[in-house]
Amino acid sequence: MIIAEGLAAWPEDLVNRYRELGYWNGKTLDQYLRESAEHYGDKEAITDGDVRLTYKDLVQLSDGLALNLSKRGFGSGDCLVVQLPNCWEFVALVYACARIGVVPIMALPGHRSNELSYFVDHSQARAIVVPDYIKGFDHQAMAWEVAKRCPTVQDVFVVGEAVSENSVDLRSLIQVPEVAQETQDILDKLRPDSQDVALFLLSGGTTGLPKLIPRSHDDYGYNFRQSSEVCGFDSNTVYLVALPASHNFPLACPGLLGTLYVGGRVVMARSPEPEYCMGLISSERVTVAAAVPAVAQRWMDAKMENPNHDLSSLQVIQVGGAKIAPELARKVRPVLGCVLQQVFGMAEGLLNYTRLDDSDDVICNTQGKPMSPDDEIQIVDELDIRVSDGEMGQLLTRGPYTLRGYYRAPEHNVRSFTSDGWYRTGDVVRWDASGNLVVEGRTKDLINRAGEKISAEEVENLLYRLPSVAQAAAIALPDKRYGERNCAVVVLREGCDGLTLSEIRAAMEEFGVAKYKFPDQLEIMESLPTTNVGKIDKSLLRKQLTSPESPTQA
């Protein structure tokens, strides 16, 4: 399949403008690494447990992997579904793919066969890349289950110790090439164009399964370059990747790509668990970490419980993925001893940051300013008419790193983009007096659980697969730990004896659904409230379930 056939093209005048301004500089993602290696060759680039790789090591290993992938027939426009934990092999794979034009689809470790099958079918991916096991779950077996259903899949690549005979050990392909110059000549001929798709990120999935977000080498390179400048990253930065590296936030905001661009060091963490991460911050002298609000809260709780944790190296904690409550934000500096930087953005593009020298009031109560001088923003009402300054409205945006359309989703694109290319983010925002954005909520039916965006529609469709469910609604309710929790509200069919939360979770596991989408709470009602046009009234449901007289959760 030719990827370009499913893409929304950038207008030529904007392409020329972004090139003239230097936002798009014609480089592919791997070229940034090569330039860093020229300046910082023997400096440590990646720390992953006992594995420590220099910039020179990372270039050679990613080149070796690129060469071996090309020998197996992978080339420009071929897609791989990548589902790996935070590990050095993930980083090598991203750069190897960029070297020869292979396009990784950034699946999350929590995804299961339901999601992976969709990604493969939608992209006609030729391979799936997985670990052998995570927390006892057999990802390799799942990948083969998907491969048997999806005829385009030719290979299952595995990272781990338990690689089956029919799989390919990815580590065996990550080798330093024997003839360096010959390898360079071969790979240089395979390098893609900078306007080609570098990777596919995943949307929050507000309607069903996630949409694929095409990010080109040009726009994604600008994404992490400009982020690095705004966030003050330099060669002294030691960046902790505690969130899943396939997320846009830890990948390129500025993330691991931004850190390696400026010659810093990336420390891979296999989990965001407080004791583990605080140990890494101390031993590796981490200077910057990224977290969602729920993780930041747990880190602060752990620090207060054990003040002896040495976090003296930590200068900045970036918090994004969901809005952090002001009262929690105000605790960051006194508890963790570092500056809080709020990050509000989306995998589709637009990024806003509070600046490191902003006042505490701005840092704690706003979500910052756009990072690029060419980020365009409109705040509009339901009729797309601009609201007055300070008023709430829906956020629309365009810019040099914001997509023009989801991949192979023409009907969805009609709803998500205006005719002149403005992206409807689904966020309700306002400008405050300091010129920073304040996020007030969402227009889309989305549950933001600890930074993971869950489509209410997808959860409802799964609930309707249960024979006992007559009506279903999935809604977001406030939660101290997760920010929002996933509450399933159902009406049972006549004659049904009952339904429990554990039964729903067991069914969803059988359906092959990612666990973070499982409902946290179940409410059973005799009927669901409706609007005057007959739709389920979720606003009223939320009010009912957050009032003192709300039903008891099941």
Rounded distance, CA 153 to CA 164, Å? Answer: 17
SS3 sequence of 265-305 = EEEECCCCCHHHHHHHHHHHCCCEEEECHHHHHHHHHHHHH
Q: Is residue 25 part of a domain?
A: no
Q: Is residue 65 part of a domain?
A: yes
Which amino acid, 112? Answer: R
* One domain, residues 463 and 502: yes
For 184-212, how does the pLDDT look when each residue is reduced to its tens digit (9 = 90+)?
A: 999 999 999 999 999 999 997 555 688 99
Task: Give residue 455's pLDDT.
Answer: 82
Longest dimension (CA), the chain: 74
Indicate the residue among 396, 423, 442 that finishes a domain: 442
Beta-strand ranges (E) seen in 141-181 are 155-159, 168-169
Place of tokens 């589902």: 83
Place of tokens 């902003």: 358
* One domain, residues 422 and 374: yes
Task: Give residue 116's pLDDT.
Answer: 97
Residues of the chain with pLDDT under 50: 533, 551-554
Domain interval for residue 153: 54-193
* One domain, residues 310 and 426: yes
Hey, is 107 helix, strand or coil? coil
* One domain, residues 381 and 514: no
Task: Give residue 250's pLDDT.
Answer: 97
CATH code, domain carrying 474: 3.30.300.30
Q: Is residue 416 part of a domain?
A: yes
Those residues whose C-beta lies under 8 Å from the C-beta of residue 155, and which sit 6 or more positions away, are 72, 126, 127, 128, 168
Q: What are phi and psi of 482, to 5 degrees?
A: -100, -5
Task: Give residue 519's pLDDT.
Answer: 97
The Cβ of residue 357 has, within 10 Å, a number of other Cβ atoms equal to 9
* One domain, residues 151 and 168: yes
Q: Is residue 39 part of a domain?
A: no
Q: Is residue 138 part of a domain?
A: yes
* One domain, residues 256 and 122: no
Contact 211, 203 (CB under 8 A): yes
* One domain, residues 452 and 437: no
* pTM for the whole structure: 0.88
Rounded distance, CA 450 to CA 518, Å? Answer: 13
CATH code, domain carrying 109: 3.40.50.980
Task: Give residue 441's pLDDT.
Answer: 78
Task: Give residue 426's pLDDT.
Answer: 92
Q: Is residue 524 part of a domain?
A: yes
* One domain, residues 433 and 292: yes
For the chain, how many structural domains are there in total?
3
Task: Give residue 535's pLDDT.
Answer: 65
Tokens of 150: 């999806």
* One domain, residues 163 and 245: no
* One domain, residues 405 and 525: no
Indicate the residue among 442, 458, 480 that finishes a domain: 442
What's the Cα-to-Cα distance from 165 to each of 169, 483, 525, rounded to whole Å?
A: 9, 44, 51
b/e per residue, 452-489, with b = 16+ CB within 10 A? bbbbbbbbbebbeebebbebbbbbbbebeebbbbbbbb
Beta-strand ranges (E) seen in 38-188 are 44-48, 51-54, 79-82, 103-106, 127-131, 133-134, 137-138, 155-159, 168-169
Task: Give residue 461's pLDDT.
Answer: 82
Indicate the residue among 139, 169, 193 that finishes a domain: 193
> Which ranges of 21-87 does DSSP label H, i.e. alpha helix?
29-40, 55-71
CATH code, domain carrying 327: 3.40.50.12780
Q: Is 431 left (phi over 0), alpha (psi -120 to 50) or beta?
A: beta
* One domain, residues 541 and 517: yes
Q: Is residue 10 part of a domain?
A: no
Q: How many CA atoms lie within 13 A of 197 on its CB side?
A: 31
* One domain, residues 232 and 341: yes
- Rounded to a whole number of angstroms, the distance between the first and last alpha carbons of the chain is 47
Q: Is residue 215 part of a domain?
A: no
Task: Give residue 445's pLDDT.
Answer: 80
